[in-house]
Amino acid sequence: MTRLPILKMVLAVIVLSVIQSVIMLQFDWFGDAASVEAGPIDTLLEVTIILSSFVFAIVCVALGYALYKWRAKPGDESDGLPIHGNTRLEIIWTVIPVILVLGLGGYSWAVLEDIEKEDENALTINTYAQQFAWTFGYPENGNKWSEGEFHVPVGRQVHFELQAQDVIHSFWVPEWRIKMDAVPGLATDVIVTPEKEGTYQLICTELCGFGHTTMRAKVVVESQEEFDAWIKEQTQEVPEDLLLTKDQYLEKQKQLEEQSGGIEGSGVQEE
Ligand SMILES: [Cu+2]
């Protein structure tokens, strides 16, 4: 049996993981960091990139060495050795990934615990997702309603209470980092503290039908005064349909389906 050049391989792994990490960390993956939550999430991403580069380097070096060292000589048509397995190797490649996965899982958990701490002073925005639009209700401001655009004051924690009206959608403002699904029949929420004024984009990140790519909304982060002025300008109130609780809403859908059932033949209609 050949002895592996362990020292050289370890060196190659270190060099390769450093090169990969340095390249991958150059990119500004999600643009500007514009929320309090963005910092811890970016650090988590960076740590994940470095660890992944390390694992990838181990695989590349081992594979490259094997390809080079044990390649078939020209004209060699014989079968390879019948190898059963290697218990020590299997234990190693099970234990290391388990440690990595548990470690990253625990770290992610800690980050979530940290960034999801609720502030009593938070602003609540009811966020309604439907194919293929976002609308927003402001319960603390007479249930004012805005379609396709929402404003928030800078520096105040915001709770987006998500409600999906039809299929699963997902709430994502890249500069705020945090992402959350809106699921029919479930109450989910997003907690964000925007800390940079500006105009951003809310993007649906759950493939939700033909118009999915167009399902966006304008996000404006501004001073408290500008926000107050904007909310005063809004004239519409949240339509009653959207104000129903989930149970009431589902009950109503059922009734509508039963009513149309006789005519359509089937209660379910595809969009
Ligand atoms: Cu969507």
Chain-centre distance of CA 194, in angstroms?
A: 17
- Give the pLDDT of residue 247: 66
C-alpha of residue 50 to centroid of ligand 1, in Å: 32
C-alpha of residue 165 to centroid of ligand 1, in Å: 10
C-alpha of residue 200 to centroid of ligand 1, in Å: 17
**What is the average per-residue pLDDT within 180-190?**
91
Number of domains in the chain: 2
The answer on 128 and 105 residing in a single domain is no
Q: What percent of the chain has pLDDT over 90?
A: 65
CATH at residue 178: 2.60.40.420
C-alpha of residue 127 to centroid of ligand 1, in Å: 12
pLDDT in tens, 111-139: 999 999 998 899 999 999 999 999 999 98
Residue 91 has pLDDT above 50, yes or no: yes
C-alpha of residue 247 to centroid of ligand 1, in Å: 22
Return the top range by mean pLDDT from 24-33, 184-193, 218-227, 257-266.
218-227
**What is the average per-residue pLDDT within 92-96?**
91
Question: Looking at residue 155, what DSSP letter applies?
Answer: T
pLDDT-based confidence at residue 270 (cuts at 50, 70, 90): very low
C-alpha of residue 183 to centroid of ligand 1, in Å: 10
The answer on 46 and 22 residing in a single domain is yes
Tokens describing residue 18: 């450093």
Per-position DSSP letters for 161-196, written without gaps between them:
EEEESSS-EEEE-GGG--EEEE-TT--EEEEE-B-S
pLDDT in tens, 15-43: 999 999 999 999 888 888 999 999 999 99
List the domain range (segments joined by +) for residue 134. 123-244
130 assigned to some structural domain:
yes
**Model-wide pTM > 0.75:** yes
Residue 264 has pLDDT above 60, yes or no: no
pLDDT-based confidence at residue 267 (cuts at 50, 70, 90): very low
The answer on 138 and 111 residing in a single domain is no
- Distance between CA 123 and CA 132 in Å, rounded? 25
The answer on 44 and 111 residing in a single domain is yes
C-alpha of residue 130 to centroid of ligand 1, in Å: 7
74 assigned to some structural domain:
no
Question: 223 vs 15, 71, 147, 206, 217, CA distance in Å?
Answer: 48, 66, 21, 31, 20
- Give the pLDDT of residue 246: 59
Least confident segment among 33-37, 46-50, 141-145, 200-204: 141-145
151 assigned to some structural domain:
yes
- Distance between CA 138 and CA 140 in Å, rounded? 6
The answer on 128 and 165 residing in a single domain is yes
